[in-house]
Amino acid sequence: MSQDFRLPDLGEGLPEAELVQWLVAPGDTVSLNQTIAEVETAKAVVELPSPYAGTVGALHAAPGDVFAVGDVVITIDTGEDAPAEAAPAHAEAAEPAEAEKAVPNLVGYGAAPRAGGRPQRRARGARAASGPDTAVLEAAPHDAMPRREAPEPVMERPRSTPPVRKLAKDLGVDLALVEASGVTGIITRADVEAYAARMTAPQAIPAIASEPDVVTSVGARPRETRTPIRGVRRATADAMVRSAFTAPQASTFLAVDVTATTELVASLAADRSLEGHRVGIMAIAAKAVCLALGATPSVNSRWDEQAGEIVEFGYVNLGIAAATERGLVVPTIRDAEQLTLVGLADAIRDLAATARAGRTTPASMLGGTFTITNVGVFGVDGGTPIVNPGEAAILALGAVRRQPWEHRGEIALRDVMTLSLSFDHRLVDGEQAARFLRDVAGVLREPGRAMLLR
């Protein structure tokens, strides 16, 4: 018996996911919970396990295609017997066959959707057993359109998902004019965006392109390249716009002599008892942040608009911004204030490795209370980072530069770093921001000062 596996909710109500790659092919034998594909949500790349054991019958998309929650991902032949007698095609309503089984509920994906949970649009006339299930596609979980009782026109509605139909409406695109690019025949978000881009392109371009003297590229590079805005890039953009236009943000800066910290890093690197652990300046800064947040809790808080409250956290879920090939991700170290310096260093190392490998999960990026971003690795001294939504502040660490600096009444070459703090001015006043930044700088200037903060 063939079983269709539909894309489940991968967490946080994300409505869709893009197929990165298949890890199986038609004819392969798969076991229960074997990873069959990698998909990219708006937050991370996620491994998709099989809910069935059996033989792969069909793959319903190609890499780059976008699934909506509820779309058929893969068909697997479980080897089980089909019902003895199928319900007649003309039946208005039929009781579920006893042989019909519920879709397995994958751990961490929430409850599987029930086929009878809401009305579905029946196909007109008989349909081949191997054909796509248009009835389910038309009744995807996020389809909020009311059921129509009047007779429907003969022409089928273009096959797409509710989020894609909404996108087409927002862009003024008639789906009947859009051609599906994937193997499923389903119109995707990328198809709609590509069609809209063609329709809005300047009309003078074809005439200019026909002129033989016009240079259309520079060397081997095209004059312009278009990339669909989706996945991590879309999520980052949405979060930054939401933060910038909902929270009044201010920034403050402080240059600090971190020579003592760089010397500490060198001495720890030479300590054989710490072999296998890399305690760098990022880890020491993370420890300084945890200590400083304890002294100035307003910087570790959240503005709850709905409840009309300011929530101060008694713990630190420390976000570490990481640049990856797919865009910026911010995985979180839970209860970072409870970790030792070595524990923080190991956690930062593991988060960075996971992010670079594209394995950061959506769950690992939730619940942050404060974020650190290290712009110094790009040779930058400072900046004005945008606060992550739901947090009160973000700290940027600049590059460590050897430069002349006043030290003990004389000019000497010292290691200097600029700290840049952006904060939500609804939650943090200038005085509190300055005190927090001075505390962090104090630990980096004199690591022994960590003993004075709680």
| Token reading at 423 | 């904060």
Residue 248 C-beta-side C-alpha neighbours within 13 Å: 6
Residues serving a catalytic function are 425
**In this structure, what DSSP letter does residue 232 have?**
H
Torsion angle (degrees, nearest 10) of CA 246, 427, 394, 263: 170
Nearest C-alpha neighbor of 186 from the set 146, 132, 233: 132
Neighbours of 376 (CB within 10 A): 19
Binning the chain into helix, strand and coil, the percentages to the nearest 5 are 30, 25, 50
Q: What 3-state DSSP class applies to 58? A: strand
Return d(Cα 182, Cα 94) in angstroms, integer.
Answer: 33
Please enumerate in sequence order all residues whose Cβ is within 8 A of that of 44, keeping only pairs 6 or more positions apart, or say none: 232, 329, 358, 359, 360, 361, 362, 364, 365
Q: Is residue 410 within 8 Å of residue 273, measured between CB atoms?
A: no
Q: What 3-state DSSP class applies to 220? A: coil
Q: Where are the alpha helices (DSSP H) in 188-258?
A: 189-200, 205-209, 231-246
Nearest C-alpha neighbor of 33 from the set 65, 59, 13, 5: 5
Return d(Cα 421, Cα 43) in angstroms, integer.
Answer: 25
Return d(Cα 395, Cα 397) in angstroms, integer.
Answer: 7
Please enumerate in sequence order all residues whose Cβ is within 8 A of that of 318, keeping only pairs 6 or more positions apart, or say none: 286, 289, 290, 332, 333, 336, 368, 369, 370, 371, 372
The neighbouring-strand residues paired with 302 are: 311
